[in-house]
Structure 1
Amino acid sequence: MKHPFAKFLQSCAVALSAFGLVAADASAQSKTSLLVYTAIETDAMKMYKTAFEKAHPNIEIRWVRDSTGVITAKLMSEKANPQADVVLGVAASSLALLSQENMLLPYEPAGFKELNQMFSDQKRPPHWVGMDVWGAVVCFNTVEAKKLNLPKPESWKDLTKPVYRGKITMPHPASSGTGYLDVTAWLQMWGEQQAWQYMDALHENVAQYVHSGSKPCKQAGSGEFPIGISFEFRAHQVLRSGAPIELIFPKEGLGWDIEGSGIIKQTKHVDAAKKLVDWMASKEANQISANWWAIVAYPGVAKKMEGIPENYEALLVKPNDFDWAAKNRDRILTEWSKRYNAKAEPGK
């Protein structure tokens, strides 16, 4: 038989345990959960989430990740009943479309004036804020090229030479932001008629249009195809992994886009969403971005990247009209698909 005082202690322990569970449950319930649609690379997702949630322990990020084109289509399909709170790490050409559709909340984050203004929306207050720049690159497998006796291309137009037939992969512009920045850069550089003629000729040499901006460089790195049109983040990563690739920056100029963040206008968590966009504009967030990107929005933070030339920023096609790319997206993708979709990778 238990002593009455022991019974009392046991009762207290049970009560305290129950109180602890209630308190923990209340704490979990008080945490704001932000649904964030993103196209950032999976390499970066964990670092952003960990650092932000450490700075804001009462806010939790729940990611929905896919390629830029898929995320853009998802947001547009949900326009009447938005599900996301924030869109983060999505192409400026897509964010401009969301802005034109009146889906983004105008907001100037804390610290915005510290950022390079050319890499954000030009409206004031901005509808979206830039994080980093990504640009086109050609990944060239030197080992496979030697086996196949392929010369090293120096330009976009070199890629139309018959020697490269069936040797090139490229991102599909409807699903990949990288594919879309390539197409819109060519259209802006050369004009519509010449650009479509170029893409007709390039199409003859393309083996497959894949649904990711990263995949063509990974394919080149593994030797599946000797040439992959990709972007510098993934090219740098594949090169660092030891793959026998050389990074080629075509001399005519590079298509490019900006990864940015914006708040969905109908979010029920405006304050938490603003805190996330504030944090993405911070030096700390830009320092994380600088692990992978040669150009970030916060001046002086970017590092020298292996394989990326010193004049990389000067190679970016200018002007690059994101509003034009957004307004003409449906027209461009319809025409592109009509001409080239027969070589699209299955799926999506």
Structure 2
Amino acid sequence: MKAYKFTVFILLLFCFTLLTACNKNQGVYPNLQGEKILVYVAFHEDEAKPLLEGFKQKTGCEYSILRFPTGEALARVMEEKKDPKADVFLGGTVDAHESMKREGIIEKYISKNASSIPERYKDKDGYWTGLYIEALSIGINKERWEAEFKSKGIKQPESFEDLLNPAFKGEIIIPDPKTSGTGYTFVSYLVQSMGKEKALEYIGKLNRNVAQVTANGFTPAQKVGIGEYLIAVNFINQQLIVKKSGFNIQSKIPKDVGWTLCAVSKIKNGPDSKAANAFIDYCLTLEAGNALKNFSMAMSTREDVSIPEGGQKLKDILSNEKYDFKKAAIDKKDMLDALEKINP
């Protein structure tokens, strides 16, 4: 009889625990059937879809995506400030989110899931939260290097200074800082590490070797992957995505290189505040962190998400505290104006 009572007690306890878990799950994922969220996406569209599909499965909420390079997405929300069309700004470098914070375009939302993310990876006032870490890297097409450059005794570039070698004229592709968060991070890093005058002088010299400037940060890795160009400058995770797709791209992360965060924030007075909150909650879960890592090959801001293969060196660069996200946002207009003068 005692054994029977004990068994019944355990079953009741199990049922109670299960019911509590279900109730908690309902709290985490509200029923949003019949609602629809619009998300402006400032990274690769295929990164956004797993997040939005996972969110839809949990809540029933339908969604629409509009994908832009970071600079274009930022310009769009600025134009719509008085009549916001989107609910969430997903992706893009954190200087863009800082700019939106300063302009009153995004609003404070502190997700309960943000507690799993270290303070250095989120806004202290709660306006944005970092999803993953992005570090600048030099990408090299290994097949072309072996076939065309190695035999000439040319040193493989390991620093940004090495990219000024005349042998690389017409072989470098970089993202446009006016439209790309990746491109602007590169410029801002140069300014913060060299000083404005030396950075502009360096960019002027680099432009002599640059064959193409792209609207977004991902295209340079793609074009180097297929061998159209020899060298790309963009984020390491963008290069790792191309490498994972089967292309022979080699990455060189310079010492003390600049890095930033890919972030998410809630657009102020967006059409569906409830869905926006719930979607940000989902983006910051372990499930979403793993989904992003599996596609983006990036280092998650969540400490319980493993580092992707080939991304171990990211740990080393995180000691570089010189890059200031807020300064990058404050200096942006001035820097872009200065760039126009040397490269109209």
TM-score > 0.5 by shorter chain:
yes
1:302 partnered with 2:314: no
Unaligned runs of 5+ in 2: 1-31
Q: CA deviation at 1:229?
A: 1.0
* TM-score, with structure 2 as normaliser: 0.85
Higher CA-based Rg: 1
Structure-2 separation of matches of 1:181 and 1:283: 27
Question: Aligned letter for 1:108?
Answer: I
Maintained 8 Å contact 2:182/2:235 = yes
After TM superposition, give the deviation of residue 216 of structure 1 in Å: 1.0
Contact 2:225 2:248 in 1 (8 A): yes
Contact 1:164–1:205 (Cα < 8 Å) also in 2: yes
Output the amino acid matched with 1:257. Answer: T
Alignment length (residue pairs) = 307
Matched, 1:223 2:227: yes
Q: 1:280 aligns with which of 268, 279, 283?
A: 283
* Distance in 2 (alpha carbons) for counterparts of 1:272 and 1:239: 35
Alignment of 1:129-148 (within 5 A): 129-148=129-148
Secondary structure of 1:166's aligned partner: coil
Residue 30 of structure 1, CA deviation: 5.6
Instruction: Determine which of 215, 240, 246 is the counterpart of 1:242.
Output: 246
* Contact 2:121–2:301 (Cα < 8 Å) also in 1: yes
Instruction: Kindly report structure 1 stretches of 4+ aligned residues shifted beyond 3 Å.
Output: none
Partner of 1:166: 170
SS of the counterpart of 1:290? helix
Note the alpha carbon deviations across 1:161-216, whole angstroms, 9 max, x for none: 11111110100011111101111111111111211111111111111111121111
Shift of 1:117: 1.6
**Amino acid of the structure 2 residue aligned with 1:174:** K
Question: What are the equivalent positions in structure 2 for 1:163-242 lying under 5 Å apart?
Answer: 163-242=167-246
Instruction: From 42, 50, 71, give the equivalent of 2:73.
Output: 71
Q: How far is the alpha carbon of 1:80 from its aligned partner?
A: 2.2
Which residue is 1:62 aligned to? 64
Given residue 220 of structure 2, which amino acid in structure 1 is its aligned partner? P
Which residues in structure 2 correspond to 1:32-111 (within 5 Å)?
32-57=35-60, 59-111=61-113
> Residue 324 of structure 2 aligns with which residue?
321
State whether residues 39 and 67 of structure 1, in contact with CA within 8 Å, keep that contact through their aligned partners in structure 2.
yes
Which of 263, 266, 274 is the equivalent residue of 1:263? 266
- Report the residue type matching 1:263 in the other structure: K
How far, CA to CA, are the matches of 2:227 and 2:33 in structure 1?
51
Structure-2 change in CA distance of 1:104 and 1:236 (3 Å):
same
CA deviations on 1:17-67 (whole Å, 9 max, x unpaired) are: xxxxxxxxxxxx96111111111212212211111111111x222111111
Instruction: Say whether the 8 Å CA contact 2:70–2:181 is kept in structure 1.
Output: yes
**1:30–1:147: structure 2 CA closer, same or farther, 3 Å change rule?**
closer
Matched, 1:127 2:118: no
C-alpha separation in 1, matches of 2:161 and 2:33: 57
Moved more, 183-192 or 140-149: 140-149
What TM-score, normalized to structure 1?
A: 0.84
Alignment match, 1:5: none
- Cα displacement string for residues 277-312 of structure 1 (whole angstroms, at most 9, x for unaligned residues): 111111111111221233212112133323x3x332
What secondary structure sits across from 1:89 in the alignment?
strand
Task: Tell me the amino acid that sits aligned with residue 136 of structure 2.
Answer: A
Superposition deviation, residue 99 in structure 1: 0.3
Give distance in 2, aligned partners of 1:179 and 1:294. 18
Structure 1 segments unaligned to the other structure (5+ residues)? 1-28, 342-348
Find the aligned partners of 1:232 and 1:311 in 2 and give their Cα distance. Answer: 10
The one-letter code of the counterpart of 2:336 is L
How far, CA to CA, are the matches of 1:297 and 1:241 in structure 2? 24
Q: Distance in 2 between matches of 1:224 and 1:95?
A: 33
Q: Does 1:338 align with 2:337?
A: no
- RMSD of the alignment, in Å? 1.7
In structure 2, what is the Cα distance between the partners aligned to 1:46 and 1:169? 28
Tell me the CA shift for residue 221 of structure 1. 1.2
